[in-house]
Structure 1
Amino acid sequence: MTEGLFKEGIVPGRLPSGQYADNFSDLHPPFDRHEALVESDRCYFCYDAPCMQACPTAIDIPLFIREIATGNPLGAAKTIFEQNIFGGMCARVCPTETLCEEVCVREIAEGKPVKIGMLQRYATDTAMAQDKQFFPRAAPTGKKVAVVGAGPAGLACAHRLAVKGHDVTVLEAKPKSGGLNEYGIASYKTVDGFAQAEVDYILSVGGITVENGKALGRDFSLAELTASYDAVFLGMGLAGVNALGGEGEEAEGVRDAVDFIAELRQASDLADLPVGRRVVVLGGGMTAIDAAVQARLLGAEEVTICYRRGKENMNASVYEQDLAAANGVTIRHWMQPKRIVGVNGSTVGIELEYTAIKDGKLAGTGETITLAADQVFKAIGQSFDAAPLNGSGNSIALERGRIKVDAEGRTSMAKVWAGGDCVADAREDLTVAAVAAGRDAAESMHRTLTSNGRA
C-alpha cells in the first residue's frame, strides 16, 4: 500500500498508476486451444444433460463441448449462438456456479465441474475473432419492429427478428448500447471493450438500426411507436434505485452503486476515479459485490458489505461472496441501515441496526452499531419507472410494479411485447435470463407478424 491510500475523504489516485491495470485485469484468463481440449475431454456428454436443463437459454451444452473436443470451435459457437446470441458475455458473467456447473455430474461426483463457462468463452471468442456469422438474414418481410432498449433483452430480440427478415429500429436512451453489459458489470469481468465488440458483432447481421440518446417518454411515445411500427418490444430495464428511507441519505458521499459501476466502466483512466478510504456497501446481490470489490481495487482501505439477512439469503452466489472476501472485503450480516452520520453535509459514518427473524418476519432488534465511512454505496435493488409509458398504464397492465406479460412476452396492449428486468417475472441480474426473454418474444412476434400480417 502507498501513502495515498491513507488520505481521508473521497479522493482519486490512491494507488500507483501501474497498479490499476493489474487490479482490473481479466478475472479468468481465457483457455488456449490445448486447455480447451483437455477440459472438454472431461465432459460425460450426458443424455438428458442436467447442465442443459439448468441453462435459462437451453444451450445444448454437451453438443457444443463435444464439438470443441473434436476440434470444431466454430461449430460449438454456432450451437451456442443459436440459443444465446450473447453467449460471449454470458460466458464471462453468468453465475455458472449456481446454474449449469452446479448440476454437472462431475461436480456431484467429484466436486469439480466441467468448466462450461470457460469452454463457452473459448468457442464464442474464436468465432468473434474471425467475425464468423452463422445466421444470414431471411428474405425481407416488409415488417417494421421497434425495440425500446439496447440491453441484452432488446438486442437479443432485435437480432432474432432481423434474422427472420424483419427491419428493426432500436431506441436506446444511453450514449452506448449494451445495457447492463456496458454499464453495470464489473470491469474485471469484461475487459478490453468486449461489451461493445459483442454489440458490433450482433448488429453486423444487418437489418438493425440503433438510435442512441432516444428515451421513451421524452423523445417518443409508446402511442407513436404502435402507430408507426407493426410490433413493439419493450426492454428498457430498470431506471430507478430504491431509497434507504433513513435519515441523512442526501449527504455527500452517499451514492447509488449502479452509478458508481457505470462511471468506472466508462472511465478512461481509473486513477482519476475518486474513492473513499472507508467504504460501506448496502445490499446482498451481485451489484453490491461488484461495487465493493471494485472500490477495494481502486484503493479503498476498508470495504464492508452490510446485508440485512444471513449469508444463505444473499442473492450473490457463494462464489461471488468468496471473491469479495479474497479481495479484502468484509461481509457483515443481519444489519440494516438506520441513518447516515454526517458532519457539515459530508458522510463520516453509518448507523446500522441489528436484525433478526421474529414471528417469521425480519425485524430490527433495537441494538445499533455505527461504522466509520466516508463513502456509502446503495445496492438495495432497482425499481421500474412506469411513467415513460406515457399514460399507457391503463392499457399495459402492471404487476408488482412492473409490466405484466404472458408466457410469450405479450403485454396487455395490442402489438406490444416486453422482456428483461422491466417485466414482473424477471430474474434480476441475470443477463442470460434477459437474453432468453428477448429471444422468445421475438419468436412470438415473428409468428404473429407472419401468420396474419398483423400484431
Structure 2
Amino acid sequence: MTETMRLDGIRAGRLGPEDLTRNFSDLHPRFSDHEALVAADRCYFCHDAPCVTACPTDIDIPLFIRQIATGMEDAAARTIFQQNILGGMCARVCPTETLCEEVCVRQVAEGKPVEIGRLQRFATDSMMAAGEHPFTRAPETGRRVAIVGAGPAGLSCAHRLAMLGHSVTIYDARAKPGGLNEYGIAEYKTPGGFAQAEVDWLLKIGGITVETGRTIGAGLALEALRNDHDAVFLGIGLGGVGALGLEGEALGGADNAVDFIAALRQQDDLTQLPIGRNVVVIGGGMTAVDAAVQSKLLGAENVTIAYRRARDRMPASRWEQDLAASHGVRLVFGVVPHALHGDDRLREVELAYVGPDMAPTGETFRLPADQLFRAIGQKLVAVEGIALEGGKIAVTGAGRTSVEGVWAGGDCAAGGQDLTVTAVAEGRDAAMDIHASLTDGRV
C-alpha cells in the first residue's frame, strides 16, 4: 500500500463487510449442469467455425461444446487445456465479446451468441475442482530452461516444456506467481483465490520450480541465465508506468491504477482498503475500467473515467464500458488531463477538451477529486542486450529474440495484443519452438 492512499479524504471502511462481500461476488457465476446443457444446445457446431479462428489459442470450440452437450465434461476440459492450460482464467477474463462470441453465428443472426466463455469455465472448473490434471510428464530430457516471469506467458511456456520432459525454473519478482492474473485483474472477475489455485493446479505436471523475489537486472543477470540453462524465456510483462507529466502530480492522492488493483487483490479485509470519495481514472483500457468499477464497489461516491479519444476508439470493449456505466461510473471522452490542483493533497483534476486530431480546443473544466489513478499504459523495463521494437522486445517466429537461445512472449514482446489469452498462446508456441531447438527438431 502506498503512502498516498492513507491521506485525509482517502479512507477505509466506506462500506461494511456485507456490502463489500456482495459487491465483489463472482461477476459470471459458474453454470449449473442444466444451464450448461441448455447453453451448449444453442451451438450449431459449425464446420470451419469462425469462433475457432477468433480464438488466439485455437481451441476447438465446437468440439468442447459438443462434449459438454453429451455429458463429457472431462473430455471438454481436456480439449480446452490441450490448447490453453490457463483456460480456467481465460474463461473468466477473456474479452469474449470481441473475440469468439463476436463472430458466433448465433450472434450474427440473432444478436445473442453462444455463451462460449461460461461454457469454457463450466468444463475447466469441473476438472480442476476434482483435482485432476489432464496431462502427464514425458521422460526427463536432461535439458534445463529458465523462465523469467510467472505470468500467463511464463506459466504457459513452463507447463508445455515440463510436459515435454524438460526441467524448468521460473523466476518472478513478486512474492507470488501468477503475474497479472494474481495482481492485475479485477477481484470480482476472479474471486476466491482462483489465480493461485490455478497456479497450484498447473504445477501438478511436475518438473517446475518457482523462485519468487527474483528480478531480471537486479541480481538476476540474463547472461548468467544463458550460461546456466539450455534456453531462456522472457515473460516479464510491462513493469514500468509512465507519469502524466503535469503540474501538481506530486500532490498526495495520485497513484497508478495497477498498484491500486494489486493492493486490492492482496487485501484480505476490504474494509481496511482506503478509497477516495471522488475518484478520477485517466485512461481507456480494461485496467482503467477495473480501477473505476472497483472504486465504486469500495464505496467511492463519484467515479469518472477520462479518456482522450472518442468512445469507439476506447481500448476497453463496449461491454466493459457498459459494465462501468452500470455501476455508476461516468465516462468522459475527448479529454486529457491538464493539471492537478490542491494544497497538501489533491483536490481537483483539471481536464482539457481535445479534437479528433488530439489538438486542444482551449476549453477546460475541473472535477472534484481526492484520488486519481493513472491507467495510461505500461512500458517495458528494458533487458540489457535485447533488441527492441516499438518499446517492446523484438521477436521473430515463435518468440525468438535478437539473442541466441533467448525467447520472449506476452505483453513484453512486440506484435501481439496485451491479453491474457494472447500471452498464453505465445508462451505455448515459444515452448514448442524451444523444444524443437533443444531436440534438433524432433517435436
Q: TM-score, normalised by structure 1?
A: 0.95
Q: Look up the match of 2:330.
A: 330
- Correspondence for 1:451: 440
Q: Look up the match of 1:409.
A: 399
The separation in 2 between residues aligned to 1:266 and 1:158, in whole angstroms, is: 25
Counterparts of 1:235 and 1:342 in 2: how far apart (Å)?
A: 40
Query: Residue in 1 aligned with 2:283?
Result: 283
How far 1:92 moved relative to its partner?
0.3
Kindly provide the amino acid, as one letter, of the partner of residue 335 in structure 2. M
Counterpart of 2:342 in structure 1 is 342
Query: Does the CA-based 8 Å contact 1:150-1:235 persist in structure 2?
Result: yes
- Residue of structure 2 in register with 1:352 after alignment: 351
1:8 CA displacement: 7.1
1:362-421 per-position Cα deviation (integer Å, ceiling 9, x unaligned): 2111111111100000001000010xx2x32xxx21111111000210001001000001
Aligned: 1:376 with 2:356: no
CA RMSD of the aligned region, Å? 1.1
Distance 1:87 1:81 in 2: 6
Shift of 1:30: 0.8
Amino acid corresponding to residue 358 of structure 2 in structure 1: L
Task: Report the TM-score, using the length of structure 2 for normalisation.
Answer: 0.97
Note if contact 1:143-1:449 (Cα within 8 Å) is conserved in structure 2: yes
Give distance in 2, aligned partners of 1:82 and 1:242: 37
**2:108 aligned counterpart, secondary structure:** helix
Between the aligned partners of 2:359 and 2:93, the Cα distance in structure 1 is 34
**Structure 1, 101-110 or 126-135: larger mean CA deviation:** 126-135
Which residue is equivalent to 1:123? Answer: 123
Residues 1:306 and 1:452: Cα distance change in structure 2 (over 3 Å) = closer
- Aligned mates of 1:178, 1:220 — CA distance in 2: 19
Alpha-carbon offset, residue 17 of structure 1: 2.4
After superposition, where does 1:42-441 map in structure 2 within 5 Å?
Answer: 42-344=42-344, 346-357=345-356, 361-386=357-382, 389=383, 391-392=384-385, 396-428=386-418, 430-441=419-430
Counterpart residue type for residue 366 of structure 2: T
Shift of residue 16, structure 1, vs aligned partner: 2.1
CA deviations 1:422-452 (Å, max 9, x no partner) are 1111311x10000000000000000000007
Report if the CA contact (8 A) 1:8-1:277 is conserved: no
Q: How big is each residue's C-alpha offset from its partner over 1:132-185, in whole Å with a ceiling of 9 and x where there is no partner?
A: 222111111110000000000000000000000000000011000000000000
* Whole-angstrom distance in 2 between the partners of 1:23 and 1:348: 27
Find the aligned partners of 2:358 and 2:349 in 1 and give their Cα distance. Answer: 20
**How many residue pairs were aligned?**
436
Gap runs ≥5 in structure 2? 1-6
Moved over 2 A (4+): none
Q: Deviations over 1:175-225 (max 9, x none)?
A: 000000000000000011000000001111000000011111112100000
What residue identity is the alignment partner of 1:400?
Answer: G
Distance 1:121 1:238 in 2: 27
Contact 1:160–1:439 (8 Å) recurs in 2:
yes
CA distance in 2, matches of 1:245, 1:437: 34
* Distance change >3 Å, CA 139–CA 249, structure 1 → 2: same
The amino acid across from 1:441 in the alignment is: A
Amino acid at match of 1:425: G
Give 5+ residue unaligned stretches, structure 1.
1-6
Q: Percent identity?
A: 61
| Deviation of the 1:309 alpha carbon | 0.6
Which residue number corresponds to residue 3 of structure 2? none
